[in-house]
Amino acid sequence: MKSLLRSDAVQEFLGWLSWLYLELVIRTIRWTRIGEAPGDPIYEAVRGPGGFIGCFWHRDIALSITAKVAVIEHKVTRILISLSPDGEFIARSMVRHNMPPIRGSKAKKGKAKGGAAAFREALDLLEAGGILVVTPDGPRGPPEHMAPGTVRIARRAQVPVFLLGLAAKPALRLKSWDRTKLPGLFGRGCIVWDGPHHCPEGASEEEMDRLGLEWAAAMTAACARAEAVLAQ
């Protein structure tokens, strides 16, 4: 069964189905958008020449697609996705959304998994003024924990980091490791932009660890703010 699910035909179908669902999410949900007005930092960043990193929790990948409305018409946007077979249909869906993936993850048990190549590709994108989209607790968690890769890329590229708080009502929570949220169509949604955040060029390992904790807390707080808006 696993080999069937990972077959090219099934992955292509799942990619198309995911793309269709996400398009309906964008078009049918009534969105409240906080932090995108003229003069707000993200508004200026997407219209400026420099690149930046956008982050959201892995559970919110179905909601995050609304962010492309604000950014994708202004800059080349790519999303960092694991090389694991389970990420294949998501990668295909993102291609349809004009957000081609950068594939890679850290090495495990001595086997290269494309992490170094993905890191270089991400730096090239940011240097060219593009947007790198990251789920810093993916692909396997722990949930709402920011892995060090995001902070390391921000330090190396010297670009700002924007955090996304996302919520939807109604939304189905899956029994996955991250409790993935699948928003119901024709409901309400909220996106909150937090940032910019920066990592100093000379930051030590301890400083980067501290920033990872601070950014994770700020992103969780942004999600709570989005949930509070929908509760009103």
List per-block mean pLDDT (blocks of 10 residues) for the chain, which spans 232 residues: 67 85 89 92 92 94 80 82 73 82 62 71 95 87 90 96 95 88 93 96 95 97 96 89
Strands 161-173 and 181-197: antiparallel
Q: Where are the alpha helices (H) located in 60-204, listed in sequence order? A: 61-64, 68-71, 88-96, 115-127, 148-157
The secondary structure of residue 111, as a DSSP letter, is B
Our count of domains for the chain comes to 1
Q: Which two tokens stand for residue 88?
A: 């294949």
Distance (Å, whole) CA 10 – CA 14? 6
For the chain, count helices (H), then strands (E): 9, 7
Distance (Å, whole) CA 232 – CA 229? 6
Distance (Å, whole) CA 219 – CA 10? 34
Question: What φ, ψ does residue 50 adopt, rounded to 5°?
Answer: -85, 160
pTM for the model: 0.88
Segment (H or E) for 133: strand 131-134
Distance (Å, whole) CA 160 – CA 158? 7
Give the structural domain span for 25: 2-231
Alpha carbon distances (Å) from 21 to 34, 63, 121, 139, 182: 24, 11, 29, 21, 10
CB 54 within 8 A of CB 67: yes
Sign of CA dihedral 89, 143, 46, 117: negative
Q: For residue 142, is the peptide bond before it cis, meaning its omega torsion is within 30 degrees of 0?
A: yes
CATH of the domain at 8: 3.40.1130.10
The secondary structure of residue 108, as a DSSP letter, is B
Closest CA to 198 of 150, 152, 161: 161
Segment (H or E) for 209: helix 205-231
